[in-house]
Structure 1
Amino acid sequence: MAATSHSADSGNGDHLDDLSKDALFELISELNDTENTFIVIQPDQDDPAWFASVAVLDEGCYEIVFRDTTRREHRVETDTSIGRITGDLIVWLAARDFPGRPAHQTTPSKDDGSGPD
């Protein structure tokens, strides 16, 4: 992932441009239920079309939000495994549209099983 494409900001003011798996794991590990309750990952641009966030719910439990308006995606999950959360974030981020990279488009299949068009 290119460091200039997106970044993470945490509730305590930390900003991270290098969004490696290890760095995200560390950011999530540092979350707590007092002064550092969330992180937000989004593109470095005005009015971003997507974001992901991780917030502390209870001791050891996290809420993960995945939102991408260009793909009409809004998913909210909870998990207790920082490793699993980090892996899911890395996979999800890899599928986002970044400046200079063609947008992913899904074309509906025209095959309805009734034979050739």
Structure 2
Amino acid sequence: MAAEYYCADSENGDHVDDPSEDALFMLISDLNDTDNTFVVVQPDEDEPAWFASVAVLDEGGYEVVRRDTHRHEHDVSVEATIGRIAGGLTKWLAARAT
């Protein structure tokens, strides 16, 4: 079954349709600086209008990118707390589904 709203994919091949905050937390927790450095969340469609990504930084922490071309949004931040990242993404993603 395809995602109803969006899907999350990590560099190591993990894929989750319509991930919950807990699923995002787990995907981000599994990131490392060798072979699984990022997670991307976007609509399950060709040429999506928005995406969010979380990437491990060499100096520690995570770079969080949120981009929505329809709403002219592009935000880049550095975060250290996985729970804060997952919660923030969940709220941001909920606004894309409306």
TM-score by length of structure 1 reads 0.78
Larger radius of gyration: 1
- Rounded to whole Å, the distance in 1 between the matches of 2:22 and 2:66 is 20
Which whole-Å CA distance do the structure 2 matches of 1:92 and 1:13 have between them?
23
Contact preservation (8 Å) 1:33, 1:59: no
- Once the two structures are TM-superposed, the CA of residue 4 in structure 1 deviates from its matched residue by 1.8
Residues 51 and 68, structure 2, Cα contact 8 Å, conserved in 1: yes
Residue 34 of structure 1 corresponds to: 34
Tell me, which stretches of 5 or more residues in structure 1 are unaligned? 102-117
Point out where structure 2 has 5 or more consecutive residues left out of the alignment. Answer: none
Question: How far apart are the structure 2 equivalents of 1:87 and 1:16?
Answer: 17
Superposed CA offset, 1:45-104 (max 9, x none): 1110000000000364000000000000000000100000001000000101x4xx5xxx
1:48 aligns with 2:31: no
Distance, in Å, in 1 between the alignment partners of 2:46 and 2:38 is 21
Paired residue type of 1:95: A
The structural deviation recorded for 1:5 is 1.3
TM-score by length of 2: 0.92
Q: Percent identity?
A: 67
**Number of equivalent positions:** 96
RMSD between aligned residues = 1.3
AA matched with 1:48: P
Whether the aligned pair in 1 keeps the contact of 2:8 and 2:16 (CA below 8 Å) is yes
Task: Give, in whole Å, the separation in 2 of the partners of 1:59 and 1:80.
Answer: 11
For 1:9 and 1:30, the matched residues in 2 are separated by 12
**Higher relative contact order (Cα pairs below 8 Å, separated by 6+ residues):** 2
